[in-house]
């Protein structure tokens, strides 16, 4: 039969071994997550079944040898070679299944050690092919060392800890099957190895021996570790259940679930984790979820009559503190007909809120130890955290909506503030306005009237924010409604209401809609260019600062005048009057609200009218926008670092000669 040289067989066998191992090495993921049982099952049903094929081949060979003894050597050579191939494939699959288990949650240095083992084993495969006479004195220690390396790696059985009790039994079964398959192969080769008719040269003894040794040893270790872990499996499972329950509690909020679901999860998790026989949750009225009104209690494992008795006892006997009773039978007040021996009550309490209490019942005495209480306390804290987070999320959503609405309202209000200032060659206007909140109560407006006249309105609604903004909008409406041309007017001067008349009418209009404690201060100026003068009424508003160019003097207009909305039942006209003033080119008018003069600096003092006056004295000769810039720069410096408490508005109007004489 030896028709070809021995090395051909050796190379063929070596190639088969190398390719089977390389194939197994490079096959894609064989361990899916933590499905160890699945991995072992596939190993038993796939490569493990090859052992049976080997058995069948052995049987066939015997059958043929019995019927046609002359053919026996050929048949034996075929079956033996096939069996050897199957064994190599089996070893390759088993070894790389073990690699997946060794790699499970392992550090990178362990992976490097495995790769070293692979390399060394590969070398033994090569050595066998080389025609070098290596003395067995050298080979033996190396083989022993490699074997020990395998033993060392067999100590890595982390995966066993992740098995549940049931899975451990399954693993023991599959591991036994793999060992049986291995024994079947080994037994076959042990029987046939001594047969004199063995035709093939010695196979890769060292390589196959070592891989078989590792496969068996790792399998055996795994089996033993699993077996001896069986008694503690329950503890591991309980700890894992605790972790999973905690994860469920924390994840609830991420999935956008409700308070009712959190309560339900707490009840179930707590009951399962400490293996209680019944559980209940009593909520305070304030903690009842909005989406489930009336759901103030949650129970599990209790019927209606027991619920009544247990709740009565819990409510009567326990306060707001943690409470453990491990001998209920001897507890006064405990309804003896109930089959429970231990009770634990835990409060659900956050920093600000008290949600209710959780109770659990067990038939055993004593039923709850410190570990159980610890776990339950973690559960209740996590529940409270989840509830508080839920509240925070809800609050922030509603806050966001409010903010959005406020933003829109602020935009609407901003559109009420004139953006296009009136322009003419006889005056120059610059404005500043800033609201303390999203919306403000300050307002100003301009209207160019026929006959080169300009109406200027400024005002301040008492209070700030939304209410003030509404009244500010009202005031603007009143201004535009009243400053209409009167077609029945006898002369030009009566075509538009005089400032005092305007204030009186505005006061009447506001009387019905302002709340009792609100009022509005305002000043209205009607400036007449052709007559070189203006008329104004001051309804309780801050006095206007004025620079008189002819007299080179800065002063405040002092005049009497009552704010709007203070006298609502008539008689207002006695408290308001018109003032007249002649102006000349170069005069400067500064109108403002109290948010400017009452703004406080870091030392708590007010910006004040004196400071404002002194500023105008220094910069009256500049253009309107420059005057405003200088005043605001000083103002901002004065109030730097202080919060804005009140709305701020300032208008600077500078009168000019109608035709600039520069180029004429």
User: Can residue 569 be called a binding residue for another protein (CB under 8 A)?
Assistant: yes
Q: In terms of CB distance, is 253 or 539 closer to another protein? A: 539
3-state secondary structure of 558: coil
Which member of 519, 529, 592, 635 binds another protein (CB under 8 A)?
Answer: 519
Kindly tell me which of 372 and 594 has the beta carbon lying closer to another protein: 594
Closest CB to another protein among 10 and 514?
Answer: 514
**Least Å from the CB of residue 463 to another protein:** 6
Determine the Cα–Cα distance for residues 580 and 571; give it in Å rounded to an integer. Answer: 23
Q: How far apart are CA 649 and CA 75, in angstroms?
A: 110
For residue 540, state whether it binds another protein (rule: CB under 8 A).
Answer: yes
Task: Tell which residue, 489, 486, 287, 314, has the closest CA to residue 391.
Answer: 287
Options 462, 639, 648, 649; binder of another protein; rule CB under 8 A? 462
Which residue is listed with tokens 């209920």?
328
At closest approach, how far in Å is the CB of 563 from another protein?
Answer: 5
Least distance CB 606 / another protein (angstroms): 9
Residues 344, 301: Cα–Cα separation, whole Å: 15
Closest CA relative to residue 377, chosen from 251, 234, 274: 274
Applying CB under 8 A, does 121 fall inside the site for another protein? no
**For the stretch 549-584, what's the b/e string if a residue is b when 16 or more beta carbons lie within 10 angstroms of its beta carbon?**
beeeebeeeeeebbbbbbbbeeebeebbebbebebe
Which uninterrupted H or E stretch holds 267?
Answer: helix 259-273
Give the residue, chosen from 28, 293, 516, 660, that forms a contact with another protein under the rule CB under 8 A: 516
Q: Does 439 bind another protein (CB under 8 A)?
A: no
Pairing between β-strand 520-528 and β-strand 533-539 as defined by DSSP bridges = antiparallel
Which part of the chain contacts another protein (CB under 8 A), choosing from 60-68, 79-87, 482-490, 555-563? 555-563
- The site string for another protein over 470-509 (x = CB under 8 A, - otherwise) reads ----------------------------------------
Q: Which of 541, 583, 599, 628 binds another protein (CB under 8 A)?
A: 541
Binding test (CB under 8 A) with another protein, winner from 500, 521, 523, 649: 521
User: Please, what is the end-to-end C-alpha distance for the chain in angstroms?
Assistant: 130
Q: How far, rounded to the nearest angstrom, does the alpha carbon of residue 309 sit from its chain's CA centroid?
A: 42
* Under rule CB under 8 A, residue 563 binds another protein: yes
Site membership for another protein, residue 613 (CB under 8 A): no
Based on the shown chain and the rule CB under 8 A, indicate whether residue 517 belongs to the binding site for another protein.
Answer: yes
Euclidean distance between CA atoms 268 and 263, whole angstroms: 9
Q: How far is the CB of 576 from another protein (least distance, A)?
A: 8
Q: Does 40 bind another protein (CB under 8 A)?
A: no
Q: Is the dihedral of CA 105, 106, 107, 112 positive or negative?
A: negative
* Binding residues for another protein restricted to 589-608, rule: CB under 8 A: 594
Residue 572-591 contact track with another protein, rule CB under 8 A, x = bound: ---x----------------
Per DSSP, the residues of 383-447 read: HHHHHHHHHHHHHHHHHHHHHHHHHHHHHHHHHHS-SS---BTTEEEEEEEE-SSSS-SEEEEEE
What is the smallest separation between the CB atom of 417 and another protein, expressed in angstroms? 20
By CB under 8 A, which span of 69-77, 182-190, 512-520, 635-643 interacts with another protein?
A: 512-520
CB of 657 to another protein, least distance (A): 33
How distant is the alpha carbon of residue 513 from its chain centre? 46
By the rule CB under 8 A, 545 interacts with another protein: no
Contact 521, 418 (CB under 8 A): no
Q: Is 542 in the site for another protein (CB under 8 A)?
A: yes
Point out which residues bind another protein (CB under 8 A). Answer: 460, 462-463, 515-519, 521, 539-543, 560-563, 565-569, 575, 594
């Amino acid at each position: 039969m030896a028709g070809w040289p021995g090395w051909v067989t050796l190379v063929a066998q070596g190639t088969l071994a190398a390719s089977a191992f390389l194939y197994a090495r490079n096959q894609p993921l064989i361990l899916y997550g933590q499905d160890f049982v699945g991995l072992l099952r596939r190993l038993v049903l796939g490569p493990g079944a090859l052992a049976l094929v080997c058995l069948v081949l052995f049987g066939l060979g015997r059958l043929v040898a019995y019927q046609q003894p002359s053919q026996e050597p050929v048949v034996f050579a075929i079956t033996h070679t096939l069996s050897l191939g199957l064994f190599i494939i089996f070893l390759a699959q088993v070894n790389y299944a073990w690699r997946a288990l060794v790699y499970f949650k392992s550090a990178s240095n362990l992976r490097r050690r495995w790769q070293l083992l692979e390399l060394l084993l590969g070398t033994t495969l090569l050595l066998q092919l080389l025609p070098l006479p290596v003395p067995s004195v050298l080979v033996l220690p190396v083989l022993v060392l490699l074997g020990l390396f395998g033993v060392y790696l067999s100590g890595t059985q982390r995966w066993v800890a992740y098995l549940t009790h049931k899975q451990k039994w399954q693993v023991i079964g599959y591991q036994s099957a793999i060992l049986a398959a291995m024994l079947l192969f080994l037994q076959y080769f042990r029987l046939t190895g001594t047969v004199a008719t063995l035709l093939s040269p010695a196979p890769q003894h060292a390589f196959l021996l070592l891989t078989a040794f590792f496969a068996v040893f790792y399998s055996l270790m795994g089996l033993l570790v699993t077996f001896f872990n069986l008694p503690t499996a329950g503890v591991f499972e309980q700890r894992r259940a605790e972790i999973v329950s905690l994860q469920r509690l924390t994840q609830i909020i991420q999935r956008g679930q409700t308070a009712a679901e959190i309560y339900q999860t707490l009840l179930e998790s707590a009951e399962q984790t400490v293996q209680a026989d019944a559980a209940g949750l009593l909520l305070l009225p304030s903690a009842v979820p909005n989406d489930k009104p009336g759901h103030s209690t949650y129970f599990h494992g209790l019927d209606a009559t027991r619920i009544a008795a247990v709740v009565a006892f819990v409510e009567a006997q326990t306060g707001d503190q943690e409470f453990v009773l491990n001998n209920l039978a001897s507890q006064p007040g405990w309804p003896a007909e109930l089959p429970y021996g231990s009770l634990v009550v835990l409060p659900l309490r956050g920093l600000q809120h008290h949600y209710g209490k959780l109770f659990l019942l067990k038939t055993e005495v004593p039923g709850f130890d410190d570990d159980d209480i610890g776990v339950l306390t973690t559960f209740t804290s996590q529940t409270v955290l989840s509830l508080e987070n839920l509240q925070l999320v809800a609050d922030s959503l509603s806050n966001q909506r409010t903010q959005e609405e406020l933003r829109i309202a602020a935009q609407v209000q901003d559109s009420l503030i004139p953006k296009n200032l009136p322009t003419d060659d006889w005056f120059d206007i610059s404005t500043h306005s800033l609201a303390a909140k999203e919306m403000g109560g300050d307002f100003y407006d301009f209207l160019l009237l026929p006959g080169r006249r300009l109406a200027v309105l400024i005002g301040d609604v008492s209070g700030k924010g939304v209410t003030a903004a509404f009244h500010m909008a009202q005031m603007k409406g009143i201004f535009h409604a009243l400053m209409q041309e009167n077609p029945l007017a006898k002369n030009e001067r009566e075509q538009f209401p005089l400032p005092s008349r305007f204030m009186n009418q505005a006061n009447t209009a506001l009387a019905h809609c302002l709340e009792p404690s609100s009022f509005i201060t305002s000043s209205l100026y009607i400036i007449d260019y052709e007559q070189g003068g203006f008329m104004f009424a001051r309804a309780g508003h801050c006095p206007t600062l004025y620079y008189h160019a002819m007299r080179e003097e800065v002063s405040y207009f002092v005049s009497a005048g009552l704010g709007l909305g203070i006298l609502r039942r008539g008689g207002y006209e006695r408290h308001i009057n018109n003032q007249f003033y002649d102006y000349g080119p170069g005069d400067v008018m500064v109108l403002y609200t109290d948010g400017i003069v009452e703004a406080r600096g870091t030392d708590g003092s007010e910006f004040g009218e004196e400071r404002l006056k002194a500023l105008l004295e220094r910069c009256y000769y500049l253009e309107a926008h420059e005057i405003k810039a200088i005043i605001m720069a000083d103002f901002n410096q004065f109030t730097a670092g202080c919060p804005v408490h009140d709305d701020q508005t300032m208008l600077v109007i500078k009168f000019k000669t109608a035709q600039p004489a520069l180029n004429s």
